[in-house]
């Protein structure tokens, strides 16, 4: 690609409380070989020195890329921070990276090359990923990428949900312009954008390892995957899953997707998750009615959750009486 004919691309670094890792993340953005490139670094009002490190590195930079710095006045959450990046960016494609991850210098170049090869241009392009720990040592990899756009059916039914990891993804601007900003409650933007892309011009995966994705307990995904006190999925994870399903429904409405059976399955999953969340705070009398409902509508997961919740409530009472 000649630089004169290259489209403007945006490279976004999303950060919050990542002062230990942010320098590596920002430097990997600044050393991208693609041009023309605008680099947007958006800090979600970190209480630590994250933004101080960002500002120092940006002020010392003398390279060819345009830098846009943003620090939210209050903590907005992941989804609103992503929405902010879209509002600040001008590129036809936006490459995303977390403030604790590291991109190879050729990452943007390789993603754009794959994106421009297809007609029509896909809505999402992503790469293979190497996993690193807090010390930066490689601990694994995600080498498998989609060779063709998956059908939405496996995602909507929950059989095998597809997601192109956000740490390795670049999104076409139409995914935001057509479907609108993310709901503030969304905590897994990559699930939402992957689904939107499946409804649009599709997805391209490339097998090169272009990102080092950092795994550590303080990450957002680490927090949500931590089980609750009973060893079950946390209420935060269930709520995040529910919000994701609502985003799927909204995207299908906007895209005009009619497939009745899949819409029915999606509505059923939304109702089941909502009940599973409700029963965690509901009184036992309410549980009895829900058990009957779960039996007649054949919802084994909800039924199991109801019975486990009731047992946990009965056991303390039994111990107290003895």
Indicate the DSSP class of residue 6.
P
d(CA 296, CA 273): 17
What are the residue ranges of helices labelled H in the chain?
22-30, 50-60, 78-88, 107-117, 152-157, 174-177, 189-199, 220-225, 235-255, 260-278, 284-296, 300-321
- The two tokens of residue 245 are 């399903």
Q: What is the pLDDT along the chain (322 residues), one digit of tens a residue?
A: 556 689 999 999 999 999 999 999 999 999 999 999 999 999 999 999 999 999 999 999 999 999 999 999 999 999 999 999 999 999 999 999 999 999 999 999 999 999 999 999 999 999 999 999 999 999 999 999 998 999 999 999 988 999 999 999 999 999 999 999 999 999 899 999 999 999 999 999 999 999 999 987 776 665 555 555 444 557 788 888 899 999 999 999 999 999 999 999 999 889 888 877 877 666 555 555 666 656 666 667 666 766 666 566 555 544 444 4
Count the neighbouring beta carbons within 10 Å of the beta carbon of residue 102. Answer: 21
Cα 200 from chain centre: 18
Torsion over CA of 22, 28, 29 and 34, rounded to 10 degrees?
Answer: 180
Supply the DSSP symbol for 170: E
Q: Using CA atoms, how far apart are residues 244 and 303, in angstroms rounded to an integer?
A: 22
- Topology of the domain comprising 3-222: Spore Coat Polysaccharide Biosynthesis Protein SpsA; Chain A (3.90.550)
* Cα 213 to Cα 48, 103, 165, 167, distances in angstroms: 22, 9, 10, 7
DSSP 217: T
């Amino acid at each position: 690609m000649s630089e004169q004919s290259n489209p403007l691309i945006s490279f976004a670094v999303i950060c919050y409380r990542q002062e230990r890792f942010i320098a590596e993340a920002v430097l990997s953005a600044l050393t991208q070989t693609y041009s023309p490139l605008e680099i947007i670094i958006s800090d979600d009002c970190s209480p630590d020195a994250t933004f101080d490190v960002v500002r120092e590195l940006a002020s010392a930079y003398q390279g060819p890329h345009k830098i846009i710095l943003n620090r939210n006045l209050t903590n907005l959450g992941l989804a609103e921070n992503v929405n902010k990046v879209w509002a600040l960016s001008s590129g036809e494609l936006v490459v995303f990276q977390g403030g604790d991850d590291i991109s190879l210098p050729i990452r943007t170049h390789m993603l754009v090359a794959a994106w421009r090869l297809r007609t029509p241009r896909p809505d999402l392009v992503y790469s293979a990923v190497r996993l690193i720990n807090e010390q930066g040592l490689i601990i694994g990899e995600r080498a498998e990428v989609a060779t063709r756009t998956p059908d939405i059916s496996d995602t909507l039914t929950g059989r095998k949900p597809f997601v192109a990891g956000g740490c390795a993804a670049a999104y076409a601007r139409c995914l935001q312009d057509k479907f609108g900003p993310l709901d503030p409650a969304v905590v897994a933007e990559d699930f939402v954008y992957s689904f939107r892309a499946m409804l649009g011009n599709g997805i391209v995966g490339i097998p090169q390892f272009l990102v080092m994705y950092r795994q550590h307990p303080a990450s957002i995904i680490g927090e949500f995957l931590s089980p609750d006190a009973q060893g079950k999925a946390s209420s935060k994870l269930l709520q995040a899953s529910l919000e994701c399903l609502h985003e799927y429904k909204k995207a299908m409405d906007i895209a005009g997707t009619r497939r009745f059976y899949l819409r029915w399955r999606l509505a059923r999953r939304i109702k089941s998750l909502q009940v599973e969340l409700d029963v965690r705070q509901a009184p036992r009398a309410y549980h009895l009615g829900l058990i009957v409902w779960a039996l007649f509508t054949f919802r084994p997961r909800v039924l199991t959750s109801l019975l486990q919740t009731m047992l946990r409530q009965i056991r303390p009472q039994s111990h107290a009486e003895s």
